[in-house]
Amino acid sequence: MKKHHIKKKRQTKGSVFFRISQIFVLCLFIGAGFLFFRAGYIQTVFSLYKEAKEVIADSSIDDFRNYQSGEVYDADGELIALLRNDRNITYLTSDEIPQQVKDAFVSIEDKRFYKHGGFDPFAIVRASLSLISKNSISQGGSTITQQLARNIYLTHTVRWERKVEEIFIAIALENKYSKDEILEFYINNIYYANGYYGIQAASRGYFSKDADELTLSETAFLCAIPNSPSLYDPLTNGENTLKRRDLILENMYKDGKISQEEYEEALAEDIVLTNSSPSFTRTWAHTYIYECAARALMEATGEDYDTCREKLYNGGYRVYTSIDMDMQELLQSTIDRQLEAYNTMNSNGTYALQSAAVCIDNETGLVAAIVGGRSQEDVSTDYNRAYLSFRQPGSAIKPLIVYTPALERGYTASSTVIDSKEEDGPENSGGSYAGAISLRTAVEQSKNTVAHKLLRELTPEVGLSYLLDMNFSSIEAEDYNLSAALGGFTTGVSTVEMTAAYATLANEGVYRLPTCIVKITDMDGNVIVEPDRDEHQVYEASAAREMTNILEGVLTRGTARGHGLSDMPAAGKTGTTNDNIDGWFVGYSAYYTTGVWVGFDSPRGVSALSGASYPVDIWHDFMEQIHTGLPEKALND
């Protein structure tokens, strides 16, 4: 009875003590809360919570796909360039990221990734215990979602407010996006040192291969870097990177993601870095591609040029082009070889005598190759003369504004015209005059007098209207005079414009706006731009066919005789300006149209330059090679 009384008394005393302890702890919490409230901490936390919710509510997938490198593909679908900005990101969607990359990051960075809601207190406890027991941390306390929040929305400044907001943003991210999406965003946006963001850029940069070609050992090696890009920089601290690779492989093995055999093989594999980004030789075509792509985006979106240009470098677009890289290299090497003897330099170190050339596929009307100058090391290709330089076209303009319009108005190849000097008219090259000749002969011999008289009959307004109808961009008010018959323009024409105009003759008078853009897609393959080609009849089909027939004679009997193609009918026209300042040849087969300009950037004459010299030699050598093996095909067939 007494014992029972004592036990009950002790229980009563224990119960009272427990209640007093609860009250004391409660008072401590209340006191701490009061102090936090008075100090403004609670208000700050609520403010951070509200701000985090607003940030993520306004977020979109674009937040994680900004600054990704775009890609440019040639006519064969081969990658030929990256559209890069200050963050070299080559983005992969979730289904494009290899599973072993995902497994590696989850195993080493966030084992409970698929279980927590953005914040994992167990990870903090685990990291703390690891630090106490092993004096090192094998896995951090921040979840993958927290790291993503920090990389995209926050700074890396160590402050309690930033850590709290990081947790709130991570939780909000988990409520808005799926785990697969969050892992995709994370793997593409983390930094792999040396300018590489995302697993694809790192894979290409360190191993010169795509991420899906990596071995397990290479994958773990790359996944080691983001934890501390300076400490695990493979170029400067490769031993550290290898140690963390081994740790990642160990974690993957323990987590059941790889077998023991795979684990041991990956540990034994030697890592050999190539330390180079994809090696793309920058050609003159690249500048033109970017220009055409920006213009195509402008037309599709209605946004200004600068915005569209910026989007190309930040939006991760895939730009598919008509550029044939074999033809591009051939056109470049042909120009370089033909002009190699003229090696005089300008004061800035560039070649004085320059050239531009464009090749258009007559079947599609798309640009297959474009060269804006001679190749030269350490010289920028940004100034692409093929579309940025406007020069006097000389006699190469005659078929476009004189002879084909005349054929539409009753003239024929056999019509009689008078080659004679008029008091205020032009002279012929060489100073000779033949009197009554056929229109065909006048074209073949490039008679200035005949072209001048015919334009007077047509009027400059009529003649120049054809150029305007083919989007020649620099026709000035002062150009409406008879000197236009000989290519005497205020500003001039570009090589792209001239080549597209002759391609119109090859296409029976139907003009197609020159471009090299086939389509532009986003990173998911959705078509953003598929240019609606400007295609319309400029010349009557019959007149274009007859002009082509006449121009065939230029290569057999006329100013370009001896430069016809082997077993392939071709047509074309030379052009030489006063004092031999500009030389042109623009010609075509049934397959391709190629235009070539040669001259000096600061216009000056050189006696060796004419349309029948460097330009036609470049044209012939290039066209001869690209037609090798093609079946003979008649013009106007």
Residue 12 belongs to some domain of the structure: yes
pLDDT of 360 reads 98
How much is the pLDDT for 278? Answer: 54
Domain boundary among 37, 57, 77: 57
pLDDT tens digits for range 551-610: 999 999 999 999 999 999 999 999 999 999 999 999 999 999 999 999 999 888 888 899
pLDDT score, position 86: 55
174 is known as an active-site residue: no
- What CATH number is attached to the domain comprising 222? 1.10.3810.10
Clarify whether residues 202 and 252 are in a common domain: yes
Instruction: Please indicate, yes or no, if residue 121 is contained in any of the structural domains.
Output: yes
Q: Domain check: are 188 and 139 in the same one? A: yes
| Final residue in a domain of this structure, among 268, 296, 327 | 268
**What is the pLDDT at residue 320?**
97
Tokens representing 26 are 């409660």
| 70 part of a folded domain | no
Residues 8 and 102 in one domain: no
**What are the DSSP calls for 593-610, one per residue?**
EEEEEEEESS----TT-S
Residue 391 pairs in a beta bridge with: 493
Residue 533: the pLDDT is: 78
Number of folded domains that form the chain: 2
Residue 21: predicted pLDDT: 53
Residue 593 lies in a domain: no
Residues 234 and 157 in one domain: yes
Domain extent for 224: 88-268
Determine which one of 69, 107, 109, 203 is catalytic.
109
395 is catalytic: yes
Same domain, 134 and 95: yes
Q: What is the pLDDT of residue 277?
A: 54
Position 47 in a domain: yes
Q: In this structure, are 143 and 16 located in the same domain?
A: no
Quick one: tokens of 246?
Answer: 């081994």
> Do both 202 and 96 map to the same domain?
yes
User: Which residue among the candidates 107, 203, 217, 395 is catalytic per the annotation?
Assistant: 395
Final residue before a domain boundary, out of 219, 252, 268: 268
Cα-to-chain-centroid distance, residue 111: 38
Q: Residue 422 domain-assigned?
A: no
Q: Are residues 95 and 32 in the same domain?
A: no
pTM over 0.75: no
Q: In 162-295, where do the E strands start and end?
A: 196-197
Distance CA 108, CA 147 (A): 13
pLDDT for position 81: 86
Tell me the C-alpha distance between 547 and 12, whole Å. 117
Q: pLDDT class for 103, splitting at 50, 70, 90?
A: very high
CB-side neighbour CA atoms (13 Å) of 142: 19
Query: Are 49 and 109 in a shared domain?
Result: no
Residues 22 and 149 in one domain: no
Average pLDDT, the chain: 87
Dihedral angle sign, alpha carbons of residues 408, 413, 415, 418: positive
Domain check: are 234 and 108 in the same one? yes
CA dihedral sign, ordered 241, 243, 245, 248: negative
Tell me what the mean pLDDT of segment 512-521 comes to.
96
- 128 shares a domain with 26: no
Q: Does a structural domain hold residue 151?
A: yes
pLDDT at 434 over 70: yes
In a domain, 448, yes or no: no
